[in-house]
Copies of this chain bind each other. A is one copy, B any other.
């Protein structure tokens, strides 16, 4: 019988290779929660929560104290009834990354029990995807140097963090473009601009003949009107990230015609809302990218399985495990530079 017998929550701490700087936030490392789901038949499923206070409002120091509550709700449920686990975890709105980890660990256990990988359970749409790599905020010179290295080492998509200083950000784009012509750029302001600054940035970049493939979250998360203003006054596709946490957020974005792209992150939405967002965006012809917080290879595995299974994403920004120091690679996938392949 594949009934849930136990749920373990284990805190893990990871350091970044170098401090990661985005608009108005610098991180040296990440405290993540590993979730293990044990079935009566001996199968174990793994998940990971990489919390975000900035985006989700969740506090990592509360996570261990949630374990008895989660265990009490889930013990005894057959893993083949995974939607019941999804529904229960949907209510844990104080900790969306924990919801994601538990929901994925359930799928992982189901997958192990029946001998099909999670990406196959989700449809097996793709065998391979390619990730970008992210350049945090730094001096113009350092950011350009990193872009050159990345592009030369095979990363065809580069994600660039901006949003703190408009004029410097324009110089960053010029310098990066100079050393990586042909690359695709995902430019992420992490809510740092006002709508007027965001439009100015886009027009200045366009005037320099530089193309941006995705212009992520230029303005503040709750400013949907502002997002829409940027969308209609920028030549580049505008994406919601911080503005698109739940399925309800995305329905509102669709109703208001506010964006061209949505950045799905399992840490914001869990598996359940992420699946709903895929279906809604596909219907509304909004494009999708998938991103991450600060997951290790255990957590990135979740997004890799989701992306391969649904095949829903034009861009993959699944690189946090490449930036964190980790003893051992634990993903159930193969990584070769930017290439990520199903095992």
Contacts and interface: CB of A to CB of B under 8 A. Distances in A.
| Residue from A81, A115, A117, A282 having most chain B Cβ neighbours under 10 A | A81
A80 B120 contact: yes
Interface string A110-130: 000011110011111100000
5 contacts: A80-B116, A80-B120, A82-B124, A114-B114, A114-B116
- Nearest 3 interchain pairs by C-beta: A83-B123, A81-B124, A276-B279
Contacts of A21: none
A283 interface: yes
- The secondary-structure label for the interface of chain A is helix
Q: How many copies does the complex hold?
A: 2
A247 B114 contact: no
Given A114-B114, A121-B121, A83 B309 contact: yes
A125 B84 contact: yes
A310 interface: yes
Interface in A270-306: 275-276, 279-280, 282-284
A91 interface: no
A311 interface: yes
A136 to B, nearest CB: 34
A84 B117 CA distance: 16
Given A247-B283, A279-B276, A283-B280, A81 B114 contact: no
A282 B78 CA distance: 24
A123 B110 CA distance: 10
Contacts of A165: none
Contacts of A123: 81-84, 86
A309 to B, nearest CB: 7
Interface string A240-251: 000000011011
A17 interface: no
Contact of A125 (B83, B254, B310): B83
A87 interface: yes
